[in-house]
Structure 1
């Protein structure tokens, strides 16, 4: 079976409003994507049943994104803050199930954004233990939980694959998985391919993002090499496509992510090129395996 490929919704549209959502799902289904990554949602106010019907009708399954907020943060020293952060993640697990999804990604180990100081080991351990418990809860409900490793400008908690491996070991969970993104890896990893290979046993999501946030075929990241390395190391999980442009993304989200330019204006064309690159890499990896055997 071909590897499953997901695309971030914000490649095509700024949010989940209609008619943009239906149009985006139609385009992704036509291009051969099996999943769509949603921007953050509020489970308490989102029309979950309505969205679930759309995903089901288009044959494109959702992947949700979990996060933390001030006063609800699993890495915080205050036990109440920790529990509120974990509770928010559990609510998103329930929403993921209601939406018809089986995967929850996100920056779920602490607050997003540039930190003033390096978090201490205690914060790291609090976050790991909390996420381990939520991941076990998610597994019991048929949802795989991953956490995304970011660059230094977006978090001080986890910046490398090696730190992610330590985080999983500290979590005490057999179900928590790593989400690696080549955009962030291009900043932090001295050996991107080696980092991918090292994480494969616990890799739950491999996301392809170019150095300039634009088309996969243009930038300093070699997506074909990354995909081939992961597959040759035995990775069988999903591969994601992520790109952001101020011409598509909402203004507040663009500001938060520091998307100041327009590296693309046609999201459908970007998604079409991206899945073609992934399929070529997949075929090349298969050919290499056959030759080696």
Structure 2
């Protein structure tokens, strides 16, 4: 079986899409074997999009942008006007992804990141799914596959498991909405990571590899190789992603928001190479 495409999270190497060392990071990613870079959220007003497009084109690494929601633009809000702005925000993210030449959009698109004070009602989840489904249909018209990331209970109280995500896709009514599972979050929320991967397979659009300590995939409590093996055995042919964070490479606000309090690794190249080796060796049957 051919090895699937693999994306590297931008923060594995640098602070974000506007980092001055991004072109060097892209070149190293390409050399290691990455086909894509998963970008952290950014505003078109705060970034030289033309420069980013040039750096991507020069490296041959393709972008996977990330979308999200804001306090005043949130599809899970009880306020109808705020929900409408949330849909508009998703559509603007899709437009930007199209401008960058992306064919996939990731992100926590269904609720405000960090909203975990109380459970969401079934009605608010259904309305969020309906609106995100509309965004996914809009993305389909732009040739973009829309995925949403399932995160842990400390980052949202809406969707924490593969089972919940599968039902959310069903409620969306869209055939262009897919699930993004992350082994870091699954290590917190899932009783059986391989079973979660298998259950989501029909709608699994992105499988991200992240270790419990947010650093090297080779050291931590999550069986990364087992997650990849489960995906292969289930017939998964979609993209994998690598995600890791270390405090010295992140902006202070981003590090604090993600609770990255320490240096988890020092060599981005080595960490990135480990992930490619794991995926390729599993798919090669080694």
TM-score above 0.5: yes
Instruction: Report how many aligned residue pairs link the two structures.
Output: 285
Scaled by the length of structure 1, the TM-score of the pair is 0.95
The SS at the match of 2:93 is: helix
Distance of 1:41 and 1:17 partners within structure 2: 9
- Give the deviation of 1:115 after TM superposition: 1.7
The SS at the match of 1:247 is: helix
- Give the deviation of 1:148 after TM superposition: 0.4
Contact 1:43-1:92 at 8 Å conserved across structures = no
- Give the deviation of 1:18 after TM superposition: 4.8
Contact 2:18-2:47 at 8 Å conserved across structures = no
The SS at the match of 1:274 is: helix
Distance of 1:246 and 1:9 partners within structure 2: 14
Spell out the pairing of 1:40-59 with structure 2 (5 A cutoff): 40-59=41-60
Spell out the pairing of 1:115-130 with structure 2 (5 A cutoff): 115-130=116-131
- Give the deviation of 1:261 after TM superposition: 1.5
1:227 match: 228
- Give the deviation of 1:16 after TM superposition: 2.4
Distance of 2:260 and 2:3 partners within structure 1: 32
The SS at the match of 2:159 is: coil
1:175 match: 176
The SS at the match of 2:247 is: coil
Distance of 1:176 and 1:46 partners within structure 2: 27
Contact 1:9-1:15 at 8 Å conserved across structures = yes
- Give the deviation of 1:51 after TM superposition: 1.1
Spell out the pairing of 1:150-161 with structure 2 (5 A cutoff): 150-161=151-162
1:217 match: 218
Contact 2:210-2:242 at 8 Å conserved across structures = yes
1:290 match: none
In structure 2, the gaps of 5 or more residues are: none
Contact 1:151-1:187 at 8 Å conserved across structures = yes
Of 197-206 and 40-49, deviating more is: 40-49
Matched, 1:277 2:286: no
Distance of 1:28 and 1:158 partners within structure 2: 31
Distance of 1:172 and 1:15 partners within structure 2: 33
2:68 match: 67
1:8 match: 9
1:86 match: 87
- Give the deviation of 1:114 after TM superposition: 4.7
2:136 match: 135
1:241 match: 242
In structure 1, the gaps of 5 or more residues are: 288-293
Distance of 1:237 and 1:181 partners within structure 2: 14
Runs of at least 4 residues off by over 6 Å: none
Contact 2:3-2:279 at 8 Å conserved across structures = no
